[in-house]
Amino acid sequence: MKVILLSELKGRGGEGDVIDVKTGFAVNYLFPRKMAIEATPGNLKQLEQRMHNIQKREEVRLTEAGDFRGLLDGKKIVISVKVGEAGRLFGSVTPMMIADAIKDQLDVEIDRRKIETRGSIKTVGTHAAELAVYRDIKADFTIDVIAEGEIVEATEEEAALAAEVEAAKAGIDLTAKTDDEDASTESDDDADEKEGSASAESADVEEDETVAEKDPAS
């Protein structure tokens, strides 16, 4: 049965696409959820008239999807779980756990149903995952599964980034000297300059006294 999609159908298409589906799937799933309509001659004609607006909306969706992808692509998510012998988990890491961890650590809300992993995650270690953002746009990220109570050491880059974030929250510029440091530096420089001038003046006085002692007329 041919239908016209009114919204994205994962792996099949987006708004305005005409696809073939099983009649039962269309009648029992797509039509009740207003995700598609039957591709009748009248509906196809209306589709042609609306295609320009559909294309404009699609351009916006693709741009937004690309921006959203950048929030997660290449990131690392840490999930702490209870672990048994040989690093085996009591159960597995679920999409809901991954979605919650992403929300907590990156402050990004995602649909757990769009998370894909390479099989069930049942051991500690690093696992690859991806998020189906929109159409062919996907975000690749990694999941670090650790035992509860294990301390995760941040890399130098992560530690530096964390320090910058905390400094930004506190309104501190890590690259600039503080006023106290500048004042201290200036005071030290002034003290050195004054000490040098005093030494020079003392040397001049000693030289004048020496000359006076040698000069009989003085």
- For β-strands 121-123 and 88-93, DSSP reports them as antiparallel
Between CA 43 and CA 4 the distance in angstroms is: 8
| Domains in the chain: ranges and CATH | 2-71 (3.40.5.10), 73-155 (3.10.430.100)
Report the pLDDT value the prediction gives residue 127, as an integer from 0 to 100: 96
pLDDT tier at 217, thresholds 50, 70, 90: very low
Three-state SS at 151? coil
Report the pLDDT value the prediction gives residue 83, as an integer from 0 to 100: 85
Does 135 have pLDDT greater than 80?
Answer: yes
pLDDT tier at 166, thresholds 50, 70, 90: low
pLDDT tier at 148, thresholds 50, 70, 90: confident
How many angstroms from the chain centroid is the CA of residue 171? 21
**Where on the phi/psi map is residue 34: left (φ > 0), alpha (ψ -120 to 50), or beta?**
left
pLDDT tens for each residue of 19-51: 999 999 999 999 999 999 999 999 999 999 999
Does 151 have pLDDT greater than 80?
Answer: no
**82-91, 163-172, 179-188, 194-203, range with greatest mean pLDDT:** 82-91
Mean pLDDT (the chain) is 79
Report the pLDDT value the prediction gives residue 125, as an integer from 0 to 100: 92
- 132 vs 9, 115, 135, 137, 157, CA distance in Å? 12, 7, 7, 6, 28
Between CA 54 and CA 19 the distance in angstroms is: 16
Are 114 and 132 within 8 A, CB to CB? yes
- The residue with greater pLDDT, 87 or 166, is 87
The tokens for 198 are 């005093």
Nearest to 72 by CA among 118, 103, 113, 95: 103
